[in-house]
Structure 1
Amino acid sequence: MKLKIFIVSLFVLTQAPLVAAQANGGLIFECGAERLTQLKSQLKTYQQELGVDPSVYEVHESGARLRLSLKAPSIYGTLYLRWDPKYNITEERISLPDAKGLTEIETVSKKEILLALMHQGRETVFAGNACHIDALKEHVQIRQMIVAWSEHLHWSFPDGSSAQWNQQYWDRGNLKPGVSLDKAMRDFFIQQDKCSIGCYTATKIVIIQGILDYFRRVKKDDAMADAIIKRLKSDDDVLVGIEPGAMWSFQKPISPEEQKRLGKLLKIQTRVAPMNFVPGDWVYFVNNDPKSSDVDGYEGSNSIYMGRASFDDFYNDNEHHYLYNEKIQNIYNWRNGVFSRSRHFQRMQTLSAEQLHQFGLSPEEGGFLVKNRAIPYFFGFEAF
């Protein structure tokens, strides 16, 4: 990516306080000994295909459990994997549909995604039927597709006014009867000037499109794509409930029923270490400033982690992405009336390395970053 990203990232690397890694995390497979034996060979082949050097990770095997973890996980989590020379990571170019057919874009590599999964800041467990090389490959590619669809967005933000929808497909956020959901979702990206949406809705749209496009166009698995659409329509509101209820348990007490409610497309990982992000994660940043958090739309920020130390910029206010430290500073500066970096840059306050560290902690610790991550199911390999 751009030279600016490397320079800003290097600044944080050299000045930010240390963040401890979580022990015993990484990429985990749990199943019978015979399948694990076969899986170890398949994992080696897959890692060779992605160019992962065997010297950067270690394998731990105990009974029916196989764990892969990075040998020297960064104290800065997964943010700077892209620039660590021992991993030799570059971006990938893939094709996405546009108004004229297909266009090639640059996005996060499957290699970076796999290495992030192997970092010790959390556990990602493939168990039972998901203890399978294809489950891992598909999960990595779905994450890549979610990121790819977030690369070049320029939607409008309602900023206190009502959301706007392309009325050909939507009636105030409800899919019109008889409308193809595939077409309606793709339209968000082709005619971006016809919608004005908040970050919560924008995050769901990107995730739905990434998952649907993978199964419908890339994998050509119409049965799974149709099953996903059926699930989205199960309550007559396709944009509601794609994430589990427990995603929001940090905000206020929620009912036991809501706490147990499963997401239509996503499940939750909890107690994730600071600075641990896997490309394709749905991440939430809380605005802990009492005054500015009362402004509609600025209670917090729903974000997609794009790899390369970057988070989405749905409204193209910062060249289509925010670096980690830019994201922290952006939320902090809402209290200074900076609701647009391009229009209100004179009001911006630059945070110190110590402040960046503090606000990167959980809300319980006075920071912005919720420890939960919403991630895609292992479609076809687990019940969803």
Structure 2
Amino acid sequence: MTDTSSYPAGPRPVGIVLRADTTSALAASTYGLLAQLERLGLQDAVRFTEISSGTGAARSFCLPDSLAAQWAPGLDTIGLAEKLQLDTLGNSEDLEREILLAMLLSPAAFEFPSHAELASAIRIRRNIVVAARKTALEFHTTEVNRPEDCWTYSEDDGFTVRPGHALIPALQKATQPEASGKLYSFSCYRATEYVILLAIAQELETCNPPLLAALQQRWERRAIMSGKFHDVFLREYGTMEQPLPPKYYVPGDRLWFRNPDEHSSDVSGYEGSWVFYLGGGLFTNFWKREQPYTLTAKCLELFHWRHATYTDKAGELRINESIVEAGVKASSANPAEAARILELMLRMREPKGVYESGGCIDTSREYPRWVCPGTADMVLPPA
């Protein structure tokens, strides 16, 4: 029987769904997940339910309602690590715990054809967080560059890896200054693609080497970018019709904060901000990686873009970052003003082209597709 006595009105956790062709395969996947939960000390933090399926067998796993209400009221996962005293920065198992618990709290099902795919998905999310923490970029709205020893560029193919240079270290060298000794210029969107590709490649190195080899060959010929990258490598959960709760995030999620101000959103590079959720209530700051954003800080920054917009001598719209920083500092020091801004910014974003009363919170998040042999659904297009 479902425990509803202590669960408030609002979104309910759906969690993780495992599907299989046979009941014995489902039993094996279930055993794998329960063993993982026990290893992490979370064996009492899950309830599971049989799901009727037209073909095969399926079972859902989520947090019990009483724990969900206690640990993440309203499916607010921002404070999950703090409530459970998880050291997600210094302890990789604590990061795994936060990822798995947040997935078990999801209001939209995370579906997997095996426990092996779920385990890979968790490791990829962990890889994303680790790589995103190390990523630091040179901010520039019009110029881009890469390490010339292992990358080359053409207008038709984008940045490709030079033959003889492995994809994983090439991606690390482009995004992590410890690997290269300098910072390179990216858009924040392209940087998220590199971090995701790196995290996937690191998992493929052990779970599916042939797919890693195919990625290597593809990136030596032509990069997969933008909309094609999303279609090939990512799933999206949450929709405009069924938005995710504004404070529900899983470590490793890619998401967009929209600039809800029409005028300042016309500045190149300031239409919004692509980030990863790092867990522990923090979001990436690729320009100052030692200062990751809280949700409040990110909302205040986007809000003050409207106050820092100007037209330069060439007639181009620009943003004065010093004015943004001063505005954020002043708002942070005034609790009433900060609360007013947050009330505006924590609203769901409006559809493309609409600037009336929406905020900066997107209705969806993105995460990588399946990667294991036999179930991987990353189909690389021909170069």
Q: TM over 0.5: same fold?
A: yes
**Structure 2 gap segments, 5+ residues each:** 1-7, 310-318, 351-356, 379-383
Q: Which residue of 2 aligns with 1:215?
A: 204
Q: Which amino acid aligns with 1:81?
A: L
Q: CA deviation at 1:108?
A: 6.4
The answer to whether 1:45 aligns with 2:35 is yes
User: Which shifted more, 333-342 or 36-45?
Assistant: 333-342
Match of 1:274 among 237, 246, 265: 246
Alpha-carbon distance, 1:46 to partner: 0.7
- Please name the residue that 1:175 is paired with: 160
Stretches of structure 1 that go unaligned for 5 or more consecutive residues are 1-18, 95-105, 245-262
For 1:345, the equivalent position in structure 2 comes to 325
Aligned to 1:142: 124
Identify if the C-alpha distance between structure 1 residues 198 and 20 changes in structure 2 by more than 3 Å, giving closer, same or farther.
farther
TM-superposed CA distance for 1:77, in Å, is 1.9
Could you tell me which amino acid in structure 1 is paired with residue 200 of structure 2?
I
Alignment partners' CA distance in 2, 1:20 and 1:196: 46
SS in 2 for 1:154: coil
Q: Deviation of residue 281 (structure 1)? A: 1.0
Cα drift, residue 313 of structure 1: 0.8
Q: Spell out the pairing of 1:92-111 with structure 2 (5 A cutoff).
A: 93=90, 109-111=95-97
**Change in CA separation of 1:67 and 1:184 when aligned onto 2, cut-off 3 Å:** same
Displacement of 1:142 in angstroms is: 0.6
Would you say the 8 A contact 1:204–1:242 is kept in 2?
no
Q: How does the TM-score come out when normalised to structure 1?
A: 0.76
Q: How many residues align?
A: 325
When the two chains are superposed, the root-mean-square deviation of aligned CA atoms in Å is 2.8
After the TM superposition, list the runs of 4 or more consecutive aligned residues in structure 1 that deviate by more than 6 angstroms.
340-343
Name the counterpart of 2:182: 193
Residue 154 of structure 1, CA deviation: 2.5
**1:119 and 1:367 mapped to 2: Cα distance?**
24
Q: TM-score, normalised by structure 2?
A: 0.76
Of all paired residues, the percent bearing the same amino acid is 22
Matches within 5 A, 1:218-257: 219=206, 221-230=208-217, 236-241=222-227, 243-244=229-230
Structure 1's 133 and 357: CA in aligned 2 closer, same or farther, altered over 3 A?
Answer: farther
Partner SS, residue 121 of structure 1: coil
> Is the Cα contact below 8 Å between 1:142 and 1:210 reproduced in 2?
yes
Instruction: Specify the code of the residue in structure 2 equivalent to 1:324.
Output: L
> Structure 2: how far apart are the matches of 1:240 and 1:232?
14
2:138 maps to 156
Question: SS of the counterpart of 1:151?
Answer: helix
- Give the counterpart of 1:90 among 87, 90, 106: 87
Over 3 Å counting, the alpha-carbon distance change for 1:20 and 1:277 in structure 2 is farther
What SS is found at the alignment partner of 1:150? helix
Q: Which residue in 2 is equivalent to 1:166?
A: 147
1:283 has 2:255 as partner:
yes
Compute the displacement of 1:279 (Å): 1.0
CA distance in 2, matches of 1:33, 1:277: 32
Specify the alignment match of 1:292 in structure 2. Answer: 264
